């Protein structure tokens, strides 16, 4: 690691490089540690999460880019508009390593751009670019447009869709198409800063540190991972989707707004059936031999032209599946795809929709706009995702932060 902090102020357009003090590097180590340190140090109490004074911090860890198993992850931190509290959300994929390859350990974004922008980082060339033509676009269109504009087909991109632009409290950025730091309304913080995307391309590889020792560790952990995989342990085969059966067995699979922990149709939801039916392809995070992550063959679905689409993770199969009474795995795969495109957190979205389904079924919510909303209605589930992202009808209520505060954790304020 280089202890490099890249700071970008969207109000002043100032871009600067700082050294992370060694005491901070050793005391806070990386990821969540850095986020905790810098948010505590730099945010005033009572900071408005959607105000220009809030910050977005993207932090990598010390072993980032070394290909030691499971180290290719990164964390994004901010003050959450959903909880009004500390937020760090983690993701895998390739963005974390790419930030390191561009020469940075930590990126802090502050202020608010006057008009929509995206940030382009190519090694030490960092630019704030006009994104007026991208505003309103879905995530995948945004990724394609930036790669084309930059003439960089392999640029790693984190961007928001309409939900983040519309400051939806359960929105999230989409990264590497489906490796999202999903929690806490991070998408709305991007949106509040008029920040559509961050695109990164790096050309160096980390060479500092004891390379011999790093090589030994990589070998040792790769061997351990292989041993576990050969013994049939871990999530190498079906990823986290395999947890559906286990959770159901333990009466812990969210069912119909958590009215039960057992779903009678759980076997249809994920795991073996989904992988075989839709020809799963392994797509591990950078340097990870476990490879729990896969994509599915897009040609099986008439609602997308993409060749590969994300296989939903357990949390999505739970919250947009059993928790909404949905057992048709194509519907859950489609809902996951729409959440990635619109920029919605699948966990909070499924939780909110399930709550509405139960309230309607119990006669607590009545009226035309609630017609047909019930557990197991695939069509309504998909329809509600768009309503939330564009804050229309019932979606407007689910897009508000007060709604989820009451649902989940009560009001917190720091």
Residue ranges in contact with ligand SF4 by CB under 6 A: 70, 72-73, 92, 284-285, 288, 290-293
Return the CA Rg of the chain: 21
Angstrom CA distances, 239 to 18, 214, 290, 317, stand at: 39, 27, 9, 12
CB of 233 to ligand SF4, least distance (A): 12
CB of 136 to ligand SF4, least distance (A): 31
Query: Is-contact 64 72, C-beta < 8 A?
Result: yes
| Cβ atoms within 10 Å, residue 41 | 8
CB of 92 to ligand SF4, least distance (A): 4
174-175 β-sheet, strand order: 125-130, 117-122, 195-201, 156-159, 174-175
CB of 222 to ligand SF4, least distance (A): 12
Question: Residue 192 or 293: which CB sits closer to ligand SF4?
Answer: 293
Question: Residue 72 or 191: which CB sits closer to ligand SF4?
Answer: 72
Which H or E element spans position 282? strand 281-282
Among 263, 286, 289, 293, residue whose Cα is nearest residue 354: 263
| Burial class of 346 by CB neighbour count within 10 A (0 to 12, 13 to 18, 19+) | buried
Query: Is-contact 240 290, C-beta < 8 A?
Result: no
Question: Residue 222 or 377: which CB sits closer to ligand SF4?
Answer: 222
Question: Residue 72 or 254: which CB sits closer to ligand SF4?
Answer: 72
CB of 290 to ligand SF4, least distance (A): 4
CB of 6 to ligand SF4, least distance (A): 24
Question: Residue 79 or 178: which CB sits closer to ligand SF4?
Answer: 178
Question: Residue 58 or 292: which CB sits closer to ligand SF4?
Answer: 292
Question: Residue 292 or 384: which CB sits closer to ligand SF4?
Answer: 292
Angstrom CA distances, 61 to 6, 22, 58, 134, 227, stand at: 15, 14, 10, 31, 25
Question: Residue 235 or 382: which CB sits closer to ligand SF4?
Answer: 235
CB of 361 to ligand SF4, least distance (A): 36
Question: Residue 61 or 343: which CB sits closer to ligand SF4?
Answer: 61
d(CA 24, CA 22): 5
d(CA 104, CA 118): 18
Among 214, 360, 338, residue whose Cα is nearest residue 287: 214
Residue 376 phi/psi, 5-degree rounding, is 90, 0
Distance of CA 38 to the CA centre of its chain: 21
CB of 382 to ligand SF4, least distance (A): 27
CB of 73 to ligand SF4, least distance (A): 6
d(CA 103, CA 106): 9
């Amino acid at each position: 690691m280089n202890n490099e902090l890249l700071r970008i102020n969207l109000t002043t357009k100032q871009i600067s490089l700082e050294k992370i003090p060694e005491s901070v590097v050793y005391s806070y180590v990386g990821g969540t540690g850095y986020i905790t340190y810098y948010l505590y140090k730099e945010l005033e109490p009572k900071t408005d999460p959607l105000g220009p004074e809030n910050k977005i911090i993207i932090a990598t860890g010390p072993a980032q880019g070394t290909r030691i198993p499971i180290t290719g992850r990164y964390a994004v931190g901010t003050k959450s508009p959903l909880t009004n509290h500390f937020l760090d959300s983690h993701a895998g994929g390739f963005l974390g390593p790419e930030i390191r390859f561009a020469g940075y350990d930590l990126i802090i974004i502050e202020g608010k751009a006057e008009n929509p922008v995206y940030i382009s980082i190519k090694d030490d060339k960092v630019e704030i670019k006009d994104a007026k033509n991208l505003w309103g676009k879905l995530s995948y269109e945004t990724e394609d447009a930036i790669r084309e504009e930059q003439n960089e087909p392999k640029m790693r991109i984190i961007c928001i869709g309409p939900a983040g632009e519309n400051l939806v409290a359960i929105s999230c950025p989409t990264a590497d198409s489906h490796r999202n730091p999903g929690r806490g309304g991070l998408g709305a913080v991007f949106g509040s800063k008029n920040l559509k995307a961050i695109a990164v391309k790096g050309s160096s590889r980390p060479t500092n540190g004891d390379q011999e020792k790093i090589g030994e560790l990589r070998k040792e952990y790769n061997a351990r991972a292989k041993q576990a995989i050969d013994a049939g342990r871990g999530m190498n085969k079906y990823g986290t989707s395999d947890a559906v059966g286990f959770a159901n067995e333990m009466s812990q699979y969210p069912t119909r707004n958590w009215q039960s922990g057992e779903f009678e149709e759980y076997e249809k939801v994920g795991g073996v059936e989904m992988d075989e039916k839709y020809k799963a392809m392994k797509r591990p995070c950078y340097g990870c031999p476990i490879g729990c992550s896969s994509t599915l063959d897009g040609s099986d679905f008439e609602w997308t032209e993409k060749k590969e689409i994300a296989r939903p993770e357990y949390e999505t199969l739970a919250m947009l599946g059993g928790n909404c009474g949905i057992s048709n795995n194509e519907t859950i795969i489609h809902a996951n795809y729409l959440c990635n495109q619109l920029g919605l957190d699948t966990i909070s979205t499924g939780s909110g929709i399930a709550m509405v389904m139960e309230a309607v079924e119990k006669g607590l919510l009545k009226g035309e706009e609630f017609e047909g909303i019930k557990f197991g209605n695939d069509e309504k589930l998909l329809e509600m995702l768009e309503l939330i992202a564009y804050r229309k009808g019932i979606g407007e209520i689910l897009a508000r932060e007060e709604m989820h505060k009451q649902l989940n954790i009560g009001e917190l304020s720091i």
